[in-house]
Amino acid sequence: MPAVRKLARIATVLTLASVPVFVSHVAFAERDKHGSNGQTEQHGNASDNGTLSAGVIVYDRSKNGTGTSAGPVTSTTSWTPPACWYAPKYTPAQLKAYLEPIWNAESTGSEWDLEQRNKYEKGGETTGTYKDFNKEKTGKGYFWDSYVNESFPPGWDKCTKPIFWVDQGDPPPADIENAVTPKILAELAYNEIRVPGTKVTLAPAGTTKVNLPTWAWLDGAAFKPVSVTATVPALGISATTTAEPVSLKIEPGTSDAEIYPASGVCEIKNGQIGEPYAKGKADETPPCGVKYLRSSGDGTYPLKATITWKIHWTGTGGAGGNLPDGTFGATQAVTVQEIQAVNR
């Protein structure tokens, strides 16, 4: 019956929204309702009596990037944050309240229902089975289950392990991939990072001229490190993921252009991205900028500016490390005109 079990498991994931007291999707909806306004947002946690509410991860976005142009970074590698993960979801009483209606509905087949009853209700004598939903361990641990990224990216359906118990203070089983740890929290926080928009300031502004070096820079005050902290209060673990800007890449939107520097990558120096144009520098080569060699005619060139962010994390117990660099960019229209000569 593997196919039946797999279908039942996926059905469980998809129908979790109908059990709001248990499910992380409710927390996601709550976050979206209030928006990522930079304040600490709670997705759920465990009360003093050990009862789990919807979701278990608390995200502190108070040090995140803000503004209407802020957005998420994209990994510079093929790595992406977990699409699904495992974390505490049920107390013994909550698991009973969740599973019994499914069994009673008989929608998943009598064979599967019996298998599940033997695992969670009538077991206890063999590893991975439980008697009366582990009621005797109430307050001493939680049943863990899968959570899914609400945008359902590729891999969202890969967390198909049966619901399992973890004693309070014990690590999750080593063979459970993406069981929540400080590192997994750091990777989930990566998904919550928002960085400032990348519209560059140009001089000349608005309209530039053919063969005239155009200086480009970004507001250094807006480009400071940003961070998000993810915490599981029920477990007492957390991780902070920090993104720091390291370079600006300029793509002029046409091959008929020269870029400064030639690599098109402007390194961030002393917290400054590029250099603002100042009077008297018209004949100088900008440290960061572009020179268009052909007019844009009746249209414009789509100049793209992309910031690369170096990302690292620290977590409970001194854990930490690097995560893949992330990028975030935007395009802006640049009008390039011919320099008009005066005939005498």
pLDDT tens digits, residue range 164-203?
999 999 999 999 999 999 999 999 999 999 998 888 999 9
User: What is the amino acid identity at position 143?
Assistant: F
Residue at 62: amino acid letter: S
Q: Are 79 and 191 in contact (CB under 8 A)?
A: no
Q: How far apart are CA 341 and CA 344, in angstroms?
A: 10
Helices (H), 167-252: 182-192
Give the whole-angstrom CA distance, residue 130 versus residue 270. 59
3-state secondary structure of 173: coil
| CA 201 and chain centroid, separation | 28
Q: In the prediction, which pLDDT does 53 show?
A: 52
What is the structure's pLDDT at 52? 61
- Supply the pLDDT for residue 51: 55
Residues 100, 102, 107, 112: is their CA dihedral positive or negative? negative
Comparing C-alpha atoms, which of 176, 160, 191 is closest to residue 57?
Answer: 191
Judged against a pLDDT cut of 60, whether residue 38 lies above it is answered with no
The residue-averaged pLDDT of 153-167 equals 95
Q: Return the HEC string of 294-330.
A: CCCCCCCEEEEEEEEEEEEEEEHHHCEEEEEEEEEEE
pLDDT for position 55: 60
Phi, psi of 343, rounded to the nearest 5 degrees:
-90, 130
Strands 207-209 and 320-337, by their bridges, are: parallel
Res 41 pLDDT > 60: no
Alpha helices in 50-149 (DSSP H): 92-105, 110-120
Q: Are 201 and 218 in contact (CB under 8 A)?
A: yes
Query: Do 3 and 113 meet the contact criterion of CB atoms below 8 Å apart?
Result: no
Look at residue 45 in the predicted model and tell me its pLDDT. 43
d(CA 159, CA 147): 8
Q: Cα–Cα distance between 3 and 158 in angstroms, integer?
A: 14
Secondary element (H or E) of residue 5? helix 2-15
> What are the tens digits of pLDDT across the range 57-87?
999 999 998 888 899 999 999 999 999 999 9
Q: Looking at residue 337, what DSSP letter applies?
A: E
Burial class (CB in 10 A: 0-12, 13-18, 19+), 254: middle
* pLDDT attached to residue 83: 96
CA distance 277 to 286: 8
Backbone angles phi, psi at 115, to 5 degrees: -60, -45
Instruction: Identify the sign of the CA torsion 225, 319, 38, 145.
Output: positive
